[in-house]
C-alpha cells in the first residue's frame, strides 16, 4: 500500500484477514490427535479502505481506532505512513500477548500508557503538541 502512496489509517485486527482458513497439522499426540492448529499460510488481506488517504492529502485530522493510534496523531502533529506502522506494532503485541496494549478512551491516559511501556516521549514531540494535556 505504501508503495502506492496510500496510508490505510485504520489498521486493527478486524481489518486483517487470513487468506486461507486451512490449518496445518502439527505435532501428533499419542492418541493420534494434533495438539496445535496453525494457519497453513501466513498470507493476509487488508480490508476496509474507507479511511485510506493518499500521502499528499490533509493529515491534520484524527485517524486510527483509539487502541492502535500513534502518539503523533494524539498530539495533533499530523500523520503519515508511520501511523500504519505503529498500528501494526500494537496489533503484533496484541496477537502475541492476547491483550490490547493500550486499552483506554482518554488521550492523557493513552499517552501515559505509552510512556509506561516505551519511556518518556521525546521532548520535541511534546513541545510541538497541538493539544495541551
- Please give the Cα distance from 55 to 44 (Å, whole number): 23
Active site residue 10: yes
- Residue pair 64/72 in contact (Cβ under 8 Å)? The answer is no
- Please give the Cα distance from 130 to 45 (Å, whole number): 35
User: Residue 98 has what DSSP assignment?
Assistant: S
What lies within 8 Å, CB to CB, of 127 at 6+ separation is: none
- Please give the Cα distance from 54 to 125 (Å, whole number): 24
The catalytic residues are 10
Amino acid at each position: 500500500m505504501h508503495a502506492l502512496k496510500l496510508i490505510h489509517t485504520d489498521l486493527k485486527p478486524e481489518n486483517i484477514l487470513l487468506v486461507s482458513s486451512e490449518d496445518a497439522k502439527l505435532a501428533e499426540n499419542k492418541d493420534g490427535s494434533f495438539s496445535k492448529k496453525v494457519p497453513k499460510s501466513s498470507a493476509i488481506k487488508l480490508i476496509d479502505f474507507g479511511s485510506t488517504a493518499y500521502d499528499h492529502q490533509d493529515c491534520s485530522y484524527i485517524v486510527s481506532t483509539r487502541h492502535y493510534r500513534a502518539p503523533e496523531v494524539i498530539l495533533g502533529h499530523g500523520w503519515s505512513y508511520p501511523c500504519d506502522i505503529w498500528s501494526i506494532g500494537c496489533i503484533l503485541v496484541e496477537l502475541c500477548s492476547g491483550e490490547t496494549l493500550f486499552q483506554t478512551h482518554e488521550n492523557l491516559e493513552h499517552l501515559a500508557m505509552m510512556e509506561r511501556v516505551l519511556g518518556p516521549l521525546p521532548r520535541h514531540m511534546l513541545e510541538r503538541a497541538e493539544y495541551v494535556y
